[in-house]
Amino acid sequence: MEQFTNFLFDEWPLTLAFVFITILLGRSFLEPMMSGVKAVKPQEAVRLMNDDDTVIVDVRLEKEFKEGHIIDSIHIPVGALESRIRELDSAKDKKIIVNCQTGMRSKQGGAILKKHGFENLNSIDGGMNAWINANLPVSKSSKKSKK
């Protein structure tokens, strides 16, 4: 045990690196559980959309949304989500897929929805980039989106 303790103190940069990497790995596994937003692959998102009454909330900027979005998604930019939360009241009991370009803003959007009582929250792992890379359909029509 003394050798181990000596190693930890003598090789403190390695020890510090090990602790840092362990924290980052632990965070990547615990974050989805703590945030209440489950990351799903694009194919899993399609299954959710086909099997259940699911609402897709696109939290990207207007310009990004117009370039292409998932069919029938509701567009509410993440910066406006808090003030426009009432638009989603009818979806509180439904499965919700929050989507953005890369998957980062959707986590933020999911946290906002969670704070307002939404429970069945998912986000597309990799966002629209992953959706497009999976060759899934993209719409440029805005008839189903909310301005």
Question: Which residue numbers are catalytic?
Answer: 100
Torsion of CA 128, 38, 114, 92, to 10 degrees: 80
Bridge partners, residue 58, by sequence: 75, 99
**d(C-alpha 64, C-alpha 59), whole Å:** 10
Measure the CA–CA gap between 134 and 25, rounded to whole angstroms. 26
CB 58 within 8 A of CB 145: yes
Is residue 58 within 8 A of residue 70, CB to CB? The reply is yes
* Integer Cα distance of 70 and 139 in angstroms: 6
Phi, psi of 121 (to 5 degrees): -110, 135
